[in-house]
Every structure is written in C-alpha cells, then in structure tokens.
Structure 1
Amino acid sequence: MTLPDLPDRRAAAAPTAPALADDTVTLNNADLLDRVRRAATALRGEGVGASDVVAIMLPNTVAFVVSLFAAWRVGAAATPINPSLTPAEAGYQISDAGAKVLITEQAVTDASVATVLSPAALFDTEPDVAQPNPISSDALALLIYTSGTTGRPKGVLLDHANLDAMCAMVIAAFALTAADHSLLILPLFHVNGIVAGTLSPLLAGGQATVAGRFGAQTFFDRVEAGRATYFSAVPTIYTMLCDLPAEVRPDTSSVRFAICGAAPASVELLTRFETRYGIPIVEGYGLSEGSCASTINPLHGPRKAGTVGPPLPGQTIRIADLDGAPAPHGTAGEVLISGPNVMRGYLNRPEETARTLVDGWLHTGDIGYLDADGYLVLVDRAKDMIIRGGENIYPKEIETVVYRLPEIAEAAVVGRSNPLYGEEPVLYVALNSGARISADDISEHMRATLSKYKRPVAITILDQLPKNAVGKIDKPALRRRDS
C-alpha cells in the first residue's frame, strides 16, 4: 500500500533528504520514520490496532502528521478534530467516531475516550520494530467530520483506496516531483490540508512545511526562507495578501503555482493577486465526500477565471435536473460526481448515505453547469450553507442550539456578505408570546456550545419571521433584508 509504509520507503531511498517541518521542528526522512515508529509504539501500547480509530486534536504541527502515519502503521484510522471546538463539540466527534485514543495537547474533561496521549508521550518511547500492518485498500483511513443540515456533524468514511486515488490525481494535475515543497497554511483537520498540502508532496518525493497560525505580514518571509514551490489557500487569505502595503515586494520566484478553493473567488481578486505577485492561481472545487478535489483549472492549459475547471482525470462530473436525469448541456442543475475518490458513505448514517450516494454518483447539493469546454461553473451552493473564510457553517447546527432556549419561537440563520471573510452568519429570532430575552443573552447561550467562527455576528429579534407560500421561514427574504 502507498501510505502506511511511506516513511519507510522515503527513509530507505534518501535518509538525509528533507521531509517535514513546522515552526520549531525540522525532520529529514530518517527523522520522520523514527518519530512515526516511536508514536506507533505508544499506540500499540494502548492496544490500538486494525479497525480502531485514533482521534487527533492538534494544531498545525509535525506531530499531527506523525500521528496520522503512526495510526496507519498499526492498522488504525484517524479522525482529525478542529482544536478550536468546544469540549461538547469535540466530545461528540470522539464519541461518534468511537475513538480509542485521543492525541491532544489540551486538557480534556470528556470521558468518552479511553486514553489521552500528549505528543510528548508519543515520542518518549522506543521505536516500533514491527513493519507496518498490512492494510487492504478498502480499510478505513480517514474519518473526516463535516457539518450536516441535520444540525450534527457526520463522519465521512474515506478508505485507503480513496486517498491513494486522490493523491495520484493531485500529483498528476500539478506535476509534483521530488523538487516540490508545499507550504501548508490551511488547517490539517481539513482534508485539503492533509491530501493536497501534505500527503501528495511527500508521496511525490518532495517535502512539506506545516505553518502554524497564518499571518499575512510574515507569510512571504516563510515563502522566501523555505523556497516553497506551491501553497493552497482560501479567498480570504488572498485578499489579506493583496491588501499588504505596496512596499511589500517579496521574492516569489520559487513558487510555481497557488491553489484557491473552499469558497468562490472573484475574477478581480484572482487577477489582482496574480498581477501583483506573479504567482498563477488555479481555482478548483471539491468536497470532503470526494476526498479533496474533483475539478481544477489546469496548471498547463487554459485557466478560465469564473470557473473551477474541468474534472480531474479519473473523475466524471454530471449535471442533473430536479428529477435526477441528465440536464441539457449548458443548463444549470445539481453537480454529481463519480470516481475512485468518492467516499464509502457516512458513519452510521445509512439513510443519509443512500440519499447522497445514488448508483455510484455523489450528489453534492451544489448547483452548476458545464461550459462548452467542459469547465464547471458553480452558480449556487447547497441551499443554506455559509462559507466564512473557507470554513463551512451550516445554519441548522446554530439554529438547533438557539431553539434550546425556551423563549425562542422561531430562529433562522443566513449569510451576510463580508469583504474579508466572504460571508458571515447572522441570526433572526422571534420570541414566544410574553417571553423576554435579550440578544446578549442569546449570544451568551451560544458561546458555551458553538465555536467562535460559527457564532452569528449579529442577532435581530423580530415580532415574527417572514414566511413563504407554504408557511416555511422565508430565508431569501431575510437575506435580502440583510444585504
């Protein structure tokens, strides 16, 4: 298999070649293998093996990547957890995934996980002498949690075949070689950061630098110091970099390309960035359910601003009408995806899996059309989803929390335009008859349960929320009110 024995193969081929670095640690191939083997010893010591799940709740560090490889080495799967989640949010994921071990630097009060290991504990042991456990291609590799319209995040099941196929597609699309150096600035708890930013360059024989917290003022210093050849970012980051003072003139000669995804980027933003810094941006589209990416504007070929490019080789995009039949060419409809990268399904969610995977096609819920050249143009997203600075926010999750307040009769969250983050959530509520509660009280209630990036930036209390013809809350009317 490709991933479990990757550290071994790299160390055997070029032990002193650079492999992985973060803000404080630099590892060559031999160092990487040594750390992975030590972490594997720690996991085996806790009884972790085939079919188990290891939860990783770490910031962007070398330890995160080492933990991934160690889990795969002993035959387990990994579920990455956003370290900014509240204890309740993290506890839900740990419990739902059935994680046997949690690797984290944070204090944990949730008792749903059997063992908590710190990164230091992973490496304070002897290297594992066993070879990587044999793993079949259909063995679970990653359990990525994505917010759902039901209000609870659901686990996306990605097996080793999914990751092998997706990494091969990324390597081919960007012609990655041993000369490439990825600068990872996106979070590692997202599949993009794992696949495009880390695994693909390592598989290609290159290296990856895992940056900690992103800072626009220091970003190009990292590029110049490490001679990065590519990076992936979201429109918010490109906006921040474009807004740097005019006297900032970095040396970007090492950078072959940059990737833009997670949220739509304007043609003006892409042009402004490329013109100023001389770095071509390739815009793409993908979902966690598709292992990372399904379309990308070609690096060596026509890049069409306003599109997210043609399908990656090995994948097929189909546009379906309301009945699921193929839509006429050039007509907008739901984007369907098929390919070896498409997930196995959702963990313990057979009904949602059946609705999302139909006859081998992944139903994305996104609306788009294919132009005359086969490039995908997205015209809308899943009906309610808000994308704030590249982070997906589902209003239903927020509304579920708000409805726990007895004073609330109706609640609706919609997206409001923001020049930096693209969108931000705002909340509208109506109260039960005779009830009294302030916007500050509602905000305080959400603070205990929801991560900061999910919390609405404004709360408006109305006598009643607008309704459409069938009596449902009219969210388009609320969006117009807030535009």
Structure 2
Amino acid sequence: MDDFHPLHLHWKPRRYDRGPLVRDARRALSSADFAAEVAGLALLFVQKGVGRGDVVATMLPNRIDIVVAMFAAWRIGAAFMPINPALTSAEALYQAADSGSRLILVDAAARERLTGTTATLLPVDAPPERSAAVLPDAAVAADDTALLIYTSGTTGRPKGVMLSHGNIDAMLHSIHGALRLDGDLSLLVMPLFHVNALLVSILAPLAAGGGACILEHFDRHSFWQSVRDSGASYFSGVPAMYLLLTAERGAIAPAPRLRFAICGAAPMPAQAIGAFEARYAVPVLEGYGLTESTVGATLNPLDGPRRPGSVGRAMPGIEVAIVGEDGAFCPPDTVGEVAVRGGNVMKGYLRRPEDSAAVLVDGWLRTGDLGRLDGEGWLTLVGRKKDLIIRGGENIYPSEVEEAIMATHLVAEAAVVGRPDAVMGEVPVAFVVAPEGGDADALIPALQAEIEKALARFKRPVAYHLLDSLPRNPIGKIDKPALRQRLERAAQPATAP
C-alpha cells in the first residue's frame, strides 16, 4: 500500500488562479473549503458506522455534495456508489440492496423512494457533527474497490461494475496523456451517476491542478452562457447534446477559453461532428469506452488529424483489438468484437463471477460491441453484439424493459427494440401481444400506466405496437431484426404510384 499513490487521492489546488476548486449553482468551494468538507463528512460517516470496505452511496441530482461524499468515502477506505435519482423506488431499492450499501446521502425525493432500505439514510443538508477528532486518511491498495457503478446486464437486472483505485489511476494517466490537462477547468454537463462525469469532468481536472463547474442538468438554451461564465476549457457530452446545440437558432457569442469538447456514449454521425465544429469552431474529440473500461478505450487525438466517423485510436496505456467468433484476433479491416486490455479494465461484476468470466477473457475485456480496426489502429464501430439501446447517452437493455412489461401480467408476449431518433440516437419501442380474450382497446393505456410506476422515464418505450403474434426465427426465438425492419418500413415515406 505504501508504494501506491493514485492521482485521484492526491488532487492538487488550482494551479493558475485562485478560483474555486468545485462549484455548482448553490455554492463554490476553494481547495481548503473542499478539503475541510471532505474531512468533516468522512468523520460523520465513521460516526454513523461506516468503515473500510463498506459502500457509501448518494441518490442526488448533480451537486457538489456528490463529489464531497465520494472523496469522504475514499478517505475512510469505503467504496462509493452513485445512484441515478431518476430511478423508481423498486429500482433504487434493488441497487441499494444488491450493493449492500451501508449509508446513502439523500434529498427528500430520494428518501421517499428509498423507504424500506436497510441502509442509513443521511439527509444531504444535515450539518456534519462537530468533533475535535482528527481522522487520518485510510491507506488504500490498488485492488481496493473505489467505485461501484451499476449498468444493465443482458439478464435485465443491473450489475455492479467494480472499479478499483488502480483502475481509476490508470484511466487518469491515460486521460492526462491524451488531453494534456494542465490546470484545465471542466464544465460538467453529464449526470454524476455516470463514470464519464466522475472521471472525465471531475477527477481528471482535479488531479491536474484544475477545477470543475457542475451543472445540475443540460439546457441547450443556457449552455453557452454557462461555458462563458465558468471559463471552462472543455466539456464532455453525448451526441444528443451536440445535435441540439447545433440546431440552436440565432447567433451564439464565442467562448474563447474553450479548447475542445469530448463526445462519447454512442456513435456520432460524421456530418453531425462537422456541423458542430463548423458552427462553433471547437474541435470535437469522439471516443469510445464503457463503464467496464473505467470510461475510456479510444479517442480521436487533440492535435489532429481527427477522423469523424471513427472513435479514434487506443488511448495511452490501453490496448484495443478485434476478436472473431473463434476467439482469435482478427486482421485489419475485419469486423469482430471489440476487446480492450489495460489497467483500466474493471475488477469484475459484484458477486457475479460467471458474468465476470464471460467478459474478462485472458486479460481482455470483451465489450460486446462490433467494430473494425484499420492498419493504423483507428477503430470504427459498426454495431452492437448485444441489443443495447442508447438513448441520449443512457443505456437501456431491452430485456429489462421486457421483464417489466411482462411483470404487469397485461400481455402475453413482449419484445423491445431500438428505433433511430434524430436527437436521442435511439428510443425504445415495444411490441406486445394481447392475452386471449383480453380487451385490446384498453391494453395500451393500462400498460403505459403500469410501466410509469415500474421504470425510470428514460427506459420507458415511446410507442407500443399491438400485434397478433411476434415474428420468430426458425429456432423459435423472437426475430428482433424483423421488428426493426417493420419500424424502418413505417418510417419510410410513401412513393407515388
């Protein structure tokens, strides 16, 4: 432990000015104020019974308190888990129970949804208990779990991705090597329950003598004013954000300190990148990664040439390869499964050894995404092996939505697929079969009402199609490609006779 000194646990005061280290709409904290709040909350955690190896969670919208809680948990050797505040009560309770959370920092809305949890619920606005005690930093090992981030699995139940302090340290070295951060200030627009926000917009700048300005949510109308007011030098977003910003009407005042923008979570059309760059004169660095790789794997270079349509080349310290169905590495320009290797690859899924073994093979992370590498190492994504739907950067697995629909007992069968969307990238659409003798006219409204209680808004289907039966392939499986084709045909304009 003595030889392990991770970047994220040794963040630096602001390097080039005396501005706040972190700020949001409520308040701003200097380096000294931030350190004092972390120490006070860490002591309060201990007084509430939290110890080394426990899990501390938050269920809050974007605010400084999430960052303070994360560092306070690490100070006492605990792991940190952010819970999406948009989750329903059932979803949040599952995550709290599955993770074994000892304490959850909450606001009033989260407290209500977490009724029944065995975890201690700590109000976010409760003042820390005052004490003269001095709490030393807990020593951490590279393999100690630092972050527990839940991501949907193919079985429909979210899985806890265990990211170690070593994973985070390796990822930060890769980010710093790729972006050459030096006192940069980030504008955080992604939700803080995403590893992207935590790593790219919080830990990376803080570890490089910079700072972070936290927005509670993305608002395309006020976004550029926020960039100018904050003095941010970069931000990270998803394709839907860039499309909305490009479509903004009227003149936009420049943001002279903005050096670059990062785009990830889903592929962005090359023409969309070009349109954004042409309008705002800000380079967009498209990259690729996933929670299991501690956010990153490839990135277009800061100093060109960039290749819109490609998600870039492997970041420093990371290897990327293409693997065929036989498990062998593929030659250049061959489509196969994207595999990632490096210190950034997760420890595994919490208490899911079989799921972990399925994706961690011979030191490589099998991503489930399909792509090809050219002879110079540029990665192009061509699809997904799994049926993941990415809606505005939010991951949705059809199986989870299908299970929720079937749990209503209102339908005989259900299948969910993604439908292309010009702004969100994809949206979920459900196909259902009514039970024999059921009231078809009343089915869809009743189903929508039940799903509103069962699933977070971003997971809910935007449309329901009632069919007599679901198409199936020769071996009896639901033919989802046929359902997607059905949606494509419906979207095509009619031709004149």
Distance 1:207 1:405 in 2: 47
Task: Say how many residue pairs are matched.
Answer: 479
1:57 and 2:56 are equivalent in the alignment: no
Question: Who is 2:44 aligned against?
Answer: 42
Equivalent position amino acid for 1:157 in 2: M
Q: After superposition, where does 1:175-186 map in structure 2 within 5 Å?
A: 175-178=180-183, 180-186=184-190
Deviations 1:402-445 (A, max 9, x none): 11233422110011111111111010011232233511111111
- What corresponds to 1:116 in structure 2? 121
Name the structure 2 match of 1:336. 339
What's 1:291 paired with? 294
Other-structure match for 1:211: 215
Flag structure 2 segments of 5+ consecutive residues without an equivalent. 489-497
Describe the shift of the 1:128–1:256 C-alpha distance in structure 2 as closer, same or farther (beyond 3 A): farther
CA displacement at 1:377 relative to structure 2: 0.4
Q: Tell me the SS of whatever aligns to 2:287.
A: strand
| 1:110 Cα offset (Å) | 3.0
TM-superposed deviation, 1:191: 0.2
Q: How high is the TM-score relative to the length of structure 1? A: 0.96
Check whether the contact 1:4–1:132 (CA below 8 A) recurs between aligned residues.
no
1:107 aligned counterpart, secondary structure? helix
Shift of 1:43: 0.3
Aligned residue identity for 1:222: S
1:46-82: CA deviations, max 9, x gaps?
1111110001111111111000000000110011100
Distance in 2 between residues matched to 1:193 and 1:127, nearest whole Å: 34
In the other structure, the counterpart of 1:89 is 91
Residues 418, 425 of structure 1: alpha-carbon distance in 2 compared, 3 angstrom cutoff: same
For 2:196, the equivalent position in structure 1 comes to 192
On the 8 A contact 1:35/1:127 being kept in 2, the answer is no
Change (3 A) 1:127 1:412: farther
1:469 alignment partner, one of 465, 474, 488 = 474
Q: For 1:406 and 1:292, locate their aligned partners in 2 and report how far apart those are by CA, in whole Å.
A: 38
Asked if 1:410 is matched to 2:447, the reply is no
Q: In the alignment, is residue 98 of structure 1 matched against residue 106 of structure 2?
A: no
Distance (Å, rounded) in 2 between the aligned partners of 1:391 and 1:474: 24
1:425 match: 428
Which runs of structure 2 are paired with 1:335-414 in the superposition (5 Å)?
335-414=338-417
Is this contact kept in 2: 1:5–1:132, CA < 8 A? no
Deviations 1:7-60 (A, max 9, x none): 6x649x999553100112111100100111111111011111111000111111
Report the equivalent of 1:270: 273
Match of 1:142 in 2: 147
Indicate whether 1:442 and 2:444 are aligned.
Answer: no
Partners of 1:469 and 1:168 in 2: CA distance: 49
- SS in structure 1 at match of 2:423: coil
Q: Identify the residue that residue 26 of structure 2 maps to in structure 1.
A: 24
Counterpart residue type for residue 404 of structure 1:
A
CA pair 127-383 structure 1, distance change in 2 beyond 3 A? farther
Paired residues for 1:447-462 under 5 Å: 447-462=452-467
Structural mapping, 1:223-302, within 5 Å: 223-247=227-251, 249-302=252-305
What is residue 494 of structure 2 aligned with on the other side?
none
Query: 379-388 or 193-202, which moves further after superposition?
Result: 379-388
CA distance in 2, matches of 1:125, 1:210: 27
CA contact (8 A) 2:190 2:217 kept: no
- The answer to whether the 8 A contact 1:158-1:344 is kept is yes
Q: Structure 1 residues 4 and 183 mapped into 2: Cα distance closer, same or farther (>3 Å)?
A: closer
Task: Give secondary structure in 1 for the equivalent of 2:366.
Answer: strand
Q: Is the 8 A contact 1:36 1:66 kept in 2?
A: yes
- For the 8 Å contact 1:410–1:430, the answer to whether it is kept is yes
Q: CA deviation at 1:260?
A: 0.3
3-state SS in 1 of match to 2:454: coil
Aligned to 1:319: 322
CA–CA distance in 1 between the matches of 2:408 and 2:182? 55
Over aligned residues, Cα RMSD in angstroms?
1.6
Per the alignment, residue 155 of structure 1 pairs with 160
- Decide whether the 8 Å contact of 1:3 with 1:72 is kept in 2: no
The one-letter code sitting in structure 2 at the alignment partner of 1:439 is I
Q: Give the Cα separation in 1 of the matches to 2:133 and 2:147.
A: 22
Asked whether the 8 Å contact 1:235–1:265 carries over to 2, the reply is yes
Q: Provide the C-alpha distance between the structure 2 equivalents of 1:473 and 1:208, rounded to a whole number of angstroms.
A: 47
Q: Percent identity?
A: 46
Contact 1:388-1:422 within 8 A present in 2 as well: yes
Cα distance, 1:156–1:121 mapped onto 2, change above 3 Å: same
Residue by residue over 1:257-311, the C-alpha shift from the partner in whole angstroms, topping out at 9 and shown as x without a partner, is: 0000001111111011101111000000000000010000010131111100001
Kept in 1: contact 2:38–2:69 (CA 8 A): yes
Q: CA shift at 1:381, angstroms?
A: 1.6
Quick one: which of 103, 127, 130 aligns to 2:135? 130
Sort the Cα spacing of 1:318 and 1:464 in 2 relative to 1 into closer, same or farther, 3 A: same
- CA offsets per residue over residues 184-232 of structure 1, 9 Å max, x none? 0001100000000100000000010011121111111111111110000
Question: Quick one: distance in 2 between partners of 1:326 and 1:217?
Answer: 46
Residue 15 of structure 1 contacts residue 29 of structure 1 at CA under 8 Å; is this kept in 2? no
CA contact (8 A) 2:387 2:417 kept: yes
Amino acid at match of 2:56: V
Q: Distance in 2 between matches of 1:19 and 1:170?
A: 19
Q: TM-score, normalised by structure 2?
A: 0.93
Distance verdict in 2 for CA 1:234–1:127, change over 3 Å: farther
CA contact (8 A) 1:38 1:127 kept: no
Query: SS where residue 466 of structure 2 aligns?
Result: strand
The CA deviation string for residues 136-185 of structure 1, in whole angstroms up to 9 with x for no partner, is 1111100000011101000001010000010111111100002x100000
Structure 1 equivalent of residue 75 of structure 2: 73
Distance 1:157 1:128 in 2: 31
Uncovered stretches (5+) of structure 1, i.e. residues with no partner: none
Conserved 8 A contact 2:430-2:465 = yes
Relative to structure 1, the CA distance from residue 223 to residue 239 in structure 2 (aligned partners, 3 Å threshold; closer, same or farther) is: same
After TM superposition, the structure 1 stretch with the greater mean CA deviation from structure 2, 237-246 or 277-286, is 237-246
Residue 38 of structure 1 contacts residue 128 of structure 1 at CA under 8 Å; is this kept in 2? no
